[in-house]
């Protein structure tokens, strides 16, 4: 690689287009999914618009992306519609500008005055669309709000006061929560109410701007670390922002005429559709694909595996997940084609081209379990099904947050990533457990944390009894892998 140059405008042609889209988030998923679609839209000749990327957190990668002039390589691998292996790689060139509001807040607000700007895209994880009281009292002209909705509110407020209500925006979140567009609008109006916003500003946010809800589906393993040097040699340049995704993709959006006009992603031959109701697609996908991802992570990672495919090549881990999907997840879904979709998901998990790190899925596992798996647990109980696999995974999740695993007899630290308040609470629960060794007390605190689960789960006997038993089984087994084997044998 000594003779290779870093990918940039100096060695790769970059097209020019007006910046019409503001994207909150610079992570692998948006770059492998939405930005790829925006590239396809521009390449089709039916759309002309590029992207400004906003870093939503104090830490992030906009600086690194800017150093490559927004250019990066997307590698797609998997099976095509005919079941044939396919591998492609393309340089994505639609990212034109980058903003870290924690460093240059004025630049961020200046974009509110752009008459070219038409679309807001976001993916800030399930925890991102939430009201934070601490943001309410800030001077949004001078101080950076911490939450994504408050940042967006500050942008909309500045836009309204500078260029008026004649330039509304299409606001199109990708976060994996039900009715994500409606939820984001609701939080924006909650902020407006808390700040005693004037009626005309509230009207601009509530009625002039346009919101749509969506479902996104593509597995994105991310940066191909193990293949990096070979890929650079193959491509003929160094790309520190390359990203790998699966070939499969699906983007479902709720019908909204303004959004369809400003973001015509459904017109360029992609698996992207606007539909009257996203719910059937979303429930099927979130429960089967995302839900099983979330339950798999703590079980497989504690058992010594590092990747999705690697773990599912193991007989015990595969049996655990297949039984979970068949016996606990599918009974809660009534949409047509669910069995076929589940079979396809398992094939996608075993895609030989994709090395999806379990730890890349583990970010914010507490809200992910709440949104993806807990609804299945509660529905199962209503149906008279004891969701043993999902509750075993729930106990494994609690053990995961102890921050340690044992692999081949060697203890390793787990790089936990979640809201700091969640991490602090879990650390205190494990510290108390080390003192009293009471699984019942641990379960009472963990399950009873309403800020985690939105309700006191310790009051549900099925959840409490099974969670406590499985936590004991996992914690006292000779290894986490043996705990899975013993569970499967029951």
- Six token digits for residue 326: 């068949």
Q: Domain containing 370 — which CATH number?
A: 1.10.1040.10
Whether residue 37 is contained in a domain is answered as yes
- Beta-carbon contacts of residue 23 (< 8 Å; ≥ 6 apart): 30, 34, 35, 51, 52, 53, 54, 121, 122
Q: Domain containing 184 — which CATH number?
A: 3.40.50.720
* Positions of the chain with pLDDT under 70: 81, 83, 126
Give residue-wise pLDDT tens across range 121-175.
999 976 789 999 999 999 999 999 999 999 999 999 999 999 999 999 999 999 9
Q: Are residues 479 and 331 in the same domain?
A: yes
**What mean pLDDT, rounded, does the chain reach?**
95
How many other CB atoms are there within 10 angstroms of residue 21's CB atom?
Answer: 27
Whether residue 33 is contained in a domain is answered as yes
Q: Are residues 378 and 284 in the same domain?
A: yes
| 117: containing domain | 19-275
Where among 275, 300, 326 does a domain terminate?
275
Whether residue 14 is contained in a domain is answered as no
Give residue-wise pLDDT tens across range 164-174.
999 999 999 99
Question: Rounded distance, CA 355 to CA 311, Å?
Answer: 11
Residue 126 pLDDT = 67
Q: How many domains does the chain have?
A: 2
Kindly report the pTM of this predicted structure. 0.74
Whether residue 4 is contained in a domain is answered as no
Q: Are residues 265 and 372 in the same domain?
A: no
Task: Write down the residue that tokens 């790689």 correspond to.
Answer: 89
Give residue-wise pLDDT tens across range 13-56.
999 999 999 999 999 999 999 999 999 999 999 999 999 999 99
**Antiparallel, parallel or unpaired: β 85-92 and 72-79:** antiparallel
How many other CB atoms are there within 10 angstroms of residue 179's CB atom?
Answer: 17
């Amino acid at each position: 690689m000594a003779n290779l140059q870093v990918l940039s405008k100096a060695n790769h042609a970059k097209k020019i287009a007006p910046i019409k889209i503001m994207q909150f988030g610079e992570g692998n998923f948006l770059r492998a999914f939405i930005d790829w679609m925006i590239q396809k839209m521009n390449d089709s000749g039916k759309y002309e618009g590029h992207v400004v990327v906003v870093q939503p957190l104090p830490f992030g990668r906009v600086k690194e992306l800017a150093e490559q002039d927004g250019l990066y390589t997307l590698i797609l691998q998997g099976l095509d519609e005919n079941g044939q292996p396919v591998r492609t790689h393309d340089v994505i060139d639609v990212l034109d500008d980058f903003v870290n509001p924690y460093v240059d807040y004025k630049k961020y607000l200046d974009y509110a005055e752009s008459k070219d700007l038409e679309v807001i895209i976001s993916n800030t994880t399930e925890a991102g669309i939430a009201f934070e009281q601490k943001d309410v009292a800030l001077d949004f002209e001078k101080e950076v709000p911490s939450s994504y909705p408050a940042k967006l509110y500050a942008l909309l407020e500045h836009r309204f006061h500078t260029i008026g209500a004649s330039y509304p925006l299409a606001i199109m979140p990708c976060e994996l929560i039900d009715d994500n567009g409606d939820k984001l609008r609701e939080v924006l109006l909650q902020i407006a109410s808390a700040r005693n916003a004037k009626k005309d500003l509230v009207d601009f946010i509530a009625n002039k701007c346009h919101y749509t809800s969506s479902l996104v589906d593509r597995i994105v393993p991310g940066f191909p670390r193990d293949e990096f040097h070979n890929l650079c040699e193959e491509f003929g340049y160094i790309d520190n922002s390359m990203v790998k995704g699966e070939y499969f993709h699906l983007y479902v959006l709720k019908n909204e005429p303004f959004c369809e006009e400003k973001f015509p992603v459904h017109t360029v031959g992609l698996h992207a559709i606007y539909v009257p109701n996203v719910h059937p697609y979303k429930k099927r996908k979130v429960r089967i694909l995302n839900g099983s991802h979330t339950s798999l992570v703590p079980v497989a990672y504690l058992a010594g595996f590092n990747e999705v495919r690697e773990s599912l090549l193991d007989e015990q881990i595969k049996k655990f997940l297949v039984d979970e999907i068949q016996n606990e997840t599918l009974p809660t879904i009534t949409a047509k084609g669910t069995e076929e979709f589940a079979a396809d998901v398992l094939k996608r998990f075993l895609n030989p081209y994709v090395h999806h790190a379990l730890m890349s899925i583990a970010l914010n596992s507490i809200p992910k379990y709440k949104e993806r798996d807990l609804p299945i647990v509660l529905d199962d109980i209503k149906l008279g099904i004891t969701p043993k696999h999902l509750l075993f995974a729930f106990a494994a999740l609690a053990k995961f947050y102890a921050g340690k695993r044992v692999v081949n007899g060697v203890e390793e630290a787990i790089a936990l990533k979640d809201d700091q308040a969640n991490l602090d609470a879990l650390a205190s629960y494990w510290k108390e457990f080390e003192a009293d060794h009471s699984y019942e007390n641990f379960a009472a605190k963990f399950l009873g944390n309403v800020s985690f689960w939105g309700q006191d789960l310790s009051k549900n006997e099925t959840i409490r009894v099974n969670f406590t038993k499985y936590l004991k089984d996992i914690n006292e087994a000779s290894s986490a892998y043996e705990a899975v084997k013993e569970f499967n044998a029951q």
